[in-house]
Structure formats: C-alpha cells, structure tokens
Chain A
C-alpha cells in the first residue's frame, strides 16, 4: 500500500503551487491517501461571505453534530487548501512541512 514519503517536499510544493487542477501521479496518491484515511473528524470550510470568506471548521465523521468552528479564516480557497494540506501532512508523517 502507498505511504506518504515525508522527504518528498517536491510533492508538497507542487500542491502549494496548484491545489486545483491536474496533479502528478505522486501528488494524486498523496491526496487520495489524505482524503481516504479513517479520521474521527475532518476539515470543512464554512462560507461566511459568499465567494469571499471561509472559516475552517471540523466535522465529526458521520456528522452527528454541527461543525466545530476555528478562528482560522481564508479569503482565498487556495490558501485554505494549503493550510489543511500542511495540517494533514503533519498528522500523517509526524513532521512539519518546512515550506511556508
């Protein structure tokens, strides 16, 4: 089974540069892994201003309650994707991504 290689910073850089659209096979594997692993809660974006502002929140898997809101807001969806990518990278590999 595929596992994320924490030394492959090139894959992370690729995602940062282009979170939406065509990805390399290696990046797609990383994203599929991140998105399919069993987790008790997962990230969602709550839209507070249509098309302009989103708040990072957590939903319990299975959704028995409302999302738990954080103080983290975004005005670009790309920024939200990168933020969450870094959180997941750390969660899975145990290592911070040394990329801003």
Chain B
C-alpha cells in the first residue's frame, strides 16, 4: 500500500517568496514532486479538459520518501521546572467533566508515564477516578457518568504510604442518585524525581525520534472532557484543605504547600495556561483544545465568557484535536519573479498514489496590475478541512437526495484518523468541532474528486482564463490581515462558489471596498453566512461557534456562543445585523444536492440598467445545463429579502424555479415547523440572479447559487450563463461609473 500526503507552511505566497512543503510517504522509496498551476478542475463530462501547468522550478524532482506521523490529541503541559522536582508527598485535584469515561484509561493530570514512573490522576477503564503512583493504582470503584462535573482529588503521604482518593459529584439541579466516594490505600511506591513535564489530559508515553505535537514528547491516555481548577500541592492535604484549594482564589494558610494553582480562565484566546501560585508553573496548551467553555460553577446567568471568566475556567480536551502536524520540510519552493497569480499546488506522486498540496500565488504587495481579483475562499476551505461526517452515516442521503460520494483522498481520512476532523464533524466524544487548522494534510483542497468549494472555484478560474481578461488571485487569509488595502487596486472583486465563512475584518474590508465604488461579483451560494474568528497568532487556525441558528452540523452548547480566539459572539452574520443580503442582495434560503435547476428571466431584466448583462442573449431560460447536478441554480441557493437588507433598488433579473423535494427551507427561516417546507410546495425557495448599484460608481452582481460555476464551461463556454457572466465582468472592469437610481 502506497500512500502520500502533505501540506505547506504557507497558504498565500507572492513572487520571490518561499514556502516549505512537508510530506509523508509510505510504501515507496521515493516520490515525485512537481509545482503546478491549476487552471481548471478535473470534473469530467461537460467540463473543460483538466489543465494543470508545470512551473519551471528546481523544486520539481524526485525526493526520498519517509513517513511522518501525526500526533492528535490536545493537552496542556508545564515544562520541567525546578518547583516540580523533589516531590515526595502530594495532593492532586481538579474539577473534571468526563465525556467518554468508558473509552479506556485516560489521564487527567500529573507526571505519570507509561514506563511506570511518576504520579497522576486518571480515569480508569471503568470510568472511575484513579490515582497512580509508579506502578500503584487506587480507583474510586464507582464509574463517573458522562457530562457530569466531579471534584476529583487524591493525596499521598510519602512517610506513611497513605493514599486517599475522593470522587464527588457536583450538585447541578438534576436528580442523580450519585454519592461522594472516598477510598484509601497504602503503598510503598515513591515518586521518583525524573525531571518530567507536568501534563493535563494525557500522560507521558516516551520520546519520539522526530517532532511531535510538543517537542519530542510522545503522549498517551488522552482524556476527553473538561478540566477546571487543577491544583497540585506538595503535601497530603485533608478534605478541608482540598476544599480551600478548590476555591478560585489562592487560599491563605496553604502558601507553603501549594505548588500549582492553575486558572484556565486566563489566556483563553491563546496557547498558554497560567499558574497563580508563586511558582508560576505556566505552560502551553497543545493542539488547540476548546476553551471559553462552561466550567463546574457555571450558573446559566452569564452567557459571555469575557464578562465572567471565573465561570469559564474549564478547558475541553479531545483525543482527536490536531492543530499542527509539526512535520519536517521535505523541500521548498521559491515563486519565480514572473509567476502569474493563481491557484497552485505541489503535486506529490508515489506510484499510484497522489496528493495535491495547495497554495496560492498572489501579486507582490502593492504591485497589483490586474483589474480583476478572485478572492479564494481559504477561510471556508479551512473550515471544511477533512470533513468526514458526510460519509459516516446514511443520513447524509436524507438531505443530499443521492448516494454519498467518496474518493481516494477521502479514504485517507479513514486510513489515518489522526489527520483530524473538520468543523462539520463531531469529536470522538460527540462534542462539536469548533476549530480547524490547515497545518496538516487536508483532503478537500484538490482539483479532482467530489466537486465542492475549492474544486468548484476552479470552474471560475477556468472561465476567467477563457475570457482572456487578466486577473489576480488573493485569499481570505490576505484579506483578514491586510483589510481593504488588499482590494483597493481592483475594479472588480469576484468571490467564489461558496464563500461561507467570514471574519469581521474580512467583512468590513469588503464593505469598505464596495462603499468606495468597488464592484463585486458574488459567484456562489450560501456566502457570508457564518462568523469566524482567526487564532490571534496563527492565521492557519480558524474557529466557528455554531450558535443559535442556521443549517448546522452540530449546535454549540448553551453558554458557549462566544469565540475563544476573540471573545466575539459567534453564529450567523444574519443574527448580528449583517445578513448576506446587505452586501450581496441575496442570502441563503435552501439547499439540495440531488438536482440543480435553471433561472427564468424576469420583467426586471428588461430594465435599461441591466441591458449590458443581456447583450447577445435572447433566451428566457438561463442555465438549464451544468456540470453541478445539471443546472446553474442549485446545491445551496440564495434569494433576496428586503427585510434582511436587500437594497430597494436591487433588480432580480432571473429567478430559479422547479427545485426538487430535497430543497428545504433553511432552519433560520422556520419558526414553527409544518409540512410545506420543500421547494415543491414552498414558493420562498428560489435562487435570485441579482444586480444593484452601489455608491461611488460601484455595483454588485450575485448569482445566489453554488451550481452556477459549474454551468460556465458547458459547450466550451458557448452558453447563456457564460455569456451573461462575461457581459457582467466586461462591464464591471469598464471604468464608467454606475449610477445609483434616484
């Protein structure tokens, strides 16, 4: 079995810039790498012939194959420190909220290692709290229940050998019959001074030969669940002292005993944990566990973690979190000075296996010459990265209306589950995945396979190439960092087939661009939908909290609607006063994946304001063909809604019709469920091809459909969708200003 995969250290690079490519290859001695520019998707019937162009670069060549491993599982770590040396007696305690107590033994906290050294709190194979000291184990004997808070504490007196363990459920207004458990034992085990790091949510397994998630530390026993207010003392405390230590503030009278008094409600946005004790046993969180989550003392009175962090002092760890594979580079690629802006990839091939490592070449900052920019939806691509939920259950067919589709690269996710999950998935403990990173092999950014997102945007690139009008490719990541300055040089900005996820910075930049006369062609469906937050220091990681409403793969827990990275309220932009209709005239109304339909021209299309759009087009029906399920209107579709911000002067020039039963009204449009929610019965479901003028000579054109892009290449671009879209583009690059109607 030969397998190859990889990723790049950067997503957007400009001429002269260099990126590194990390690869892992098994089953072959060597692999071939070629840098290619992608000009169309490999989409089969109806689409253009697949085109990738090799870039002339010394990076192309044969490379020795080697396996690089991924180390999934989030944890926190305090590096080896003086204060952690010489521990003999101790007390360990924390509030814990296990989510998979029966999955097998799991670590809670401590310095225990699989070599049988050290000490630590754990969950045993039955789900009971357990203390480990070297080879000695003492468990409560009572399994903890899923998603219940417990105070778990253990003490060890090295002089007497006395071990005590407490497991006490926290009152939560539910009617559980659980009782506190306290057990005792004796051991002659001792705590060796082995200079180990102090770990939360995992134990030490050993040391690797190559980089792991943290240094070369190999971890095991990854815990699923939450840990709040962990404490470490250098003495076997009694129950009363443990209670004092469990408080939020450092208690008086225990100054000499306290070694670690961690407050996980600090540094929520970043990758640090803070120790409030004088020892300052601060540490790192690894693989981005979920923070800004309710703790053991959350009352329900406060929903915003930034307002009362003390109620959000927990970290939720998952055994499948992965924020950075931390692989070593195999080779680097320096973008040639004259390289055109575009979609690029390092194409890795080993025998019959292949993998595309995507990246984008943008123009050098401040030197853009093209009038057209295609904004690659890298935020959305990242949020979707490694979406496996769609083929794990037949229920996907219920809303897709067709048999689920997979390809060879999808299967890699099942062969290598450590590749991590997407924000469309749930963690192994059933909690929703709220962060995604591209610093790992990503299976959904490729020019072939299931046609979605990245692949569909290549239809637009193919069309742009066909028009012969010059264009640049810029990315969401660039836009988030550089703001409106990135867009300013361009007459037209084209957004893709499904630009669904937007940070505030991105949305503000687009808004400012449009208000100053910039023209926007929104060439997709279900865009500008979810609010996202970028990691404060690592823009390769994105967070989405699926709060309140919307078409959701999972729903955020109550009280956890605010992003950990920024403190911003998460969810639909529509719920935050910035519905997609404001920027584009249209917003998400329905989705269905069995068949796409067509648009029918409206009376508004005869308006002289849009005469340019229909030059050379006499058809009344537009887009009754296409690579994406046979039509231009489909998959995810948008319509106008003045109540949500569609400008009064917007013209719906064509409207789709005849959608199937699979197209259901989106959740945010349903207050009371009823039996007429599908497109066969509900007239609200349609895609609106929309145009409106904006201040300072600008304009907006929106297709309101993901499938639209798949109609462009049909018949060699000799069709009414390509014609109409090209008419729009040519008018939009024309400097003559549009005029707001009076």
Closest chain B residue to A74, Cβ basis: B403
What is the minimal beta-carbon distance from B398 to any residue of chain A, in angstroms?
5
**Measured CA separation A35–B399 after assembly (Å):** 10
**Measured CA separation A28–B395 after assembly (Å):** 14
> Could you say which of A23, A35, A63 contacts B391, with CB atoms under 8 Å apart?
A63
B332 within 8 A of A: no
Q: Can you list 19 A-B pairs with a CB-CB distance of less than 8 A? A: A22-B661, A35-B394, A44-B404, A44-B405, A45-B404, A46-B405, A46-B406, A46-B407, A47-B405, A49-B44, A50-B42, A50-B407, A50-B448, A51-B43, A52-B45, A54-B405, A57-B406, A67-B414, A81-B403
**Measured CA separation A42–B398 after assembly (Å):** 13
**Measured CA separation A45–B391 after assembly (Å):** 10
Question: Cβ of B403 and Cβ of A36 under 8 Å apart?
Answer: no
> Could you say which of B391, B448, B661 contacts A28, with CB atoms under 8 Å apart?
B661
Question: Cβ of B388 and Cβ of A45 under 8 Å apart?
Answer: no
What is the minimal beta-carbon distance from B344 to any residue of chain A, in angstroms?
20
What 4 new A-B contacts, CB under 8 Å, besides A22-B658, A62-B392?
A: A22-B661, A23-B660, A32-B398, A44-B403
Question: Cβ of A44 and Cβ of B398 under 8 Å apart?
Answer: no
Question: Cβ of B388 and Cβ of A63 under 8 Å apart?
Answer: yes
B449 within 8 A of A: yes
**Measured CA separation A8–B50 after assembly (Å):** 44
Question: Cβ of B406 and Cβ of A47 under 8 Å apart?
Answer: yes
Cβ < 8 Å to A, chain B residues 43-77: 43-47, 50
Question: Cβ of B414 and Cβ of A66 under 8 Å apart?
Answer: yes
A20 within 8 A of B: yes
Which 10 A/B pairs are nearest by Cβ-Cβ distance? A51-B44, A63-B392, A42-B394, A20-B595, A21-B595, A35-B397, A20-B594, A47-B407, A50-B42, A66-B414
**Measured CA separation A59–B396 after assembly (Å):** 13
Closest chain A residue to B455, Cβ basis: A50
B627 within 8 A of A: yes
What is the minimal beta-carbon distance from B740 to any residue of chain A, in angstroms?
40
**Measured CA separation A81–B397 after assembly (Å):** 11
Question: Cβ of B411 and Cβ of A67 under 8 Å apart?
Answer: yes
Question: Cβ of B398 and Cβ of A36 under 8 Å apart?
Answer: yes
Check A59/B391 contact, CB under 8 A, given A20-B629, A51-B43. yes
Cβ < 8 Å to B, chain A residues 35-90: 35-36, 39, 42-52, 54, 57, 59, 61-63, 65-67, 77, 80-81, 84
B415 within 8 A of A: yes
**Measured CA separation A66–B408 after assembly (Å):** 10
Main secondary structure of the interface of A (DSSP, over half): mixed
What is the minimal beta-carbon distance from B415 to any residue of chain A, in angstroms?
6
Question: Cβ of A65 and Cβ of B414 under 8 Å apart?
Answer: yes
Q: Which residues of A contact B414 (CB under 8 A)?
A: 63, 65-67
What is the minimal beta-carbon distance from A86 to any residue of chain B, in angstroms?
13
What is the minimal beta-carbon distance from A71 to any residue of chain B, in angstroms?
17
B401 within 8 A of A: yes
> Could you say which of A20, A50, A51, A84 contacts B401, with CB atoms under 8 Å apart?
A20
> Could you say which of B45, B394, B659 contacts A39, with CB atoms under 8 Å apart?
B394
> Could you say which of B402, B407, B680 contacts A22, with CB atoms under 8 Å apart?
B680
> Could you say which of B388, B411, B451, B659 contacts A46, with CB atoms under 8 Å apart?
B411
How many residues of chain B have a CB within 8 Å of chain A? 40
Question: Cβ of B660 and Cβ of A51 under 8 Å apart?
Answer: no
Question: Cβ of A20 and Cβ of B448 under 8 Å apart?
Answer: no
Question: Cβ of A51 and Cβ of B406 under 8 Å apart?
Answer: no
Cβ < 8 Å to A, chain B residues 594-612: 594-595
Among A32, A42, A50, find the residue whose CB has the most chain B CB atoms closer than 10 A. A50
Q: Which residues of B contact A21 (CB under 8 A)?
A: 594-595, 660
Among A42, A48, A65, A84, find the residue whose CB has the most chain B CB atoms closer than 10 A. A42
Question: Cβ of B402 and Cβ of A61 under 8 Å apart?
Answer: no
Question: Cβ of B627 and Cβ of A51 under 8 Å apart?
Answer: yes
Q: Which residues of B contact A51 (CB under 8 A)?
A: 42-47, 451, 627
B393 within 8 A of A: yes
B450 within 8 A of A: yes
Q: Which residues of B contact A52 (CB under 8 A)?
A: 44-45
What is the minimal beta-carbon distance from A95 to any residue of chain B, in angstroms?
21
Q: Which residues of A contact B401 (CB under 8 A)?
A: 20, 31
**Measured CA separation A50–B455 after assembly (Å):** 11
What is the minimal beta-carbon distance from A25 to any residue of chain B, in angstroms?
8
What is the minimal beta-carbon distance from B631 to any residue of chain A, in angstroms?
10
**Measured CA separation A100–B682 after assembly (Å):** 35
Closest chain B residue to A35, Cβ basis: B397
Cβ < 8 Å to A, chain B residues 23-59: 42-47, 50
Question: Cβ of B405 and Cβ of A45 under 8 Å apart?
Answer: yes
Q: Which residues of B contact A46 (CB under 8 A)?
A: 405-408, 411
**Measured CA separation A20–B631 after assembly (Å):** 12
Closest chain B residue to A62, Cβ basis: B392
> Contact mask B406-442 → A, CB, 8 Å, 1/0?
1110010011000000000000000000000000000
Among A21, A46, A48, A63, find the residue whose CB has the most chain B CB atoms closer than 10 A. A21
> Could you say which of B393, B398, B406, B407 contacts A61, with CB atoms under 8 Å apart?
B393
Q: Which residues of B contact A39 (CB under 8 A)?
A: 394
Check A50/B44 contact, CB under 8 A, given A22-B658, A28-B661. yes
**Measured CA separation A35–B400 after assembly (Å):** 10
**Measured CA separation A39–B47 after assembly (Å):** 36
Q: Which residues of B contact A20 (CB under 8 A)?
A: 401-402, 594-595, 629-630, 660
What is the minimal beta-carbon distance from B450 to any residue of chain A, in angstroms?
7
> Could you say which of A23, A43, A50, A77 contacts B661, with CB atoms under 8 Å apart?
A23
**Measured CA separation A63–B565 after assembly (Å):** 31
> Could you say which of B50, B403, B659, B680 contacts A84, with CB atoms under 8 Å apart?
B403
Q: Which residues of B contact A44 (CB under 8 A)?
A: 391, 403-406
Question: Cβ of B411 and Cβ of A66 under 8 Å apart?
Answer: yes
Closest chain B residue to A49, Cβ basis: B44
> Could you say which of A22, A28, A47, A66 contacts B449, with CB atoms under 8 Å apart?
A47
> Contact mask A6-26 → B, CB, 8 Å, 1/0?
000000000000011111000
**Measured CA separation A50–B46 after assembly (Å):** 12
Closest chain B residue to A63, Cβ basis: B392
Check A81/B402 contact, CB under 8 A, given A20-B629, A50-B449, A65-B414. yes
Q: Which residues of A contact B451 (CB under 8 A)?
A: 51
Q: Which residues of A contact B397 (CB under 8 A)?
A: 35, 42
> Could you say which of A45, A48, A62 contacts B393, with CB atoms under 8 Å apart?
A62
**Measured CA separation A79–B173 after assembly (Å):** 56
Closest chain B residue to A80, Cβ basis: B403
Among A45, A51, A54, A59, find the residue whose CB has the most chain B CB atoms closer than 10 A. A51
**Measured CA separation A80–B406 after assembly (Å):** 14
Question: Cβ of B448 and Cβ of A66 under 8 Å apart?
Answer: no
Q: Which residues of B contact A77 (CB under 8 A)?
A: 402-403
What is the minimal beta-carbon distance from A4 to any residue of chain B, in angstroms?
16
> Could you say which of A22, A23, A36 contacts B395, with CB atoms under 8 Å apart?
A36
Q: Which residues of A contact B50 (CB under 8 A)?
A: 50
Closest chain A residue to B680, Cβ basis: A22
Question: Cβ of B660 and Cβ of A22 under 8 Å apart?
Answer: yes
Among B394, B594, B661, find the residue whose CB has the most chain A CB atoms closer than 10 A. B394
Closest chain A residue to B401, Cβ basis: A20
Q: Which residues of A contact B405 (CB under 8 A)?
A: 44-47, 54
What is the minimal beta-carbon distance from A40 to any residue of chain B, in angstroms?
11
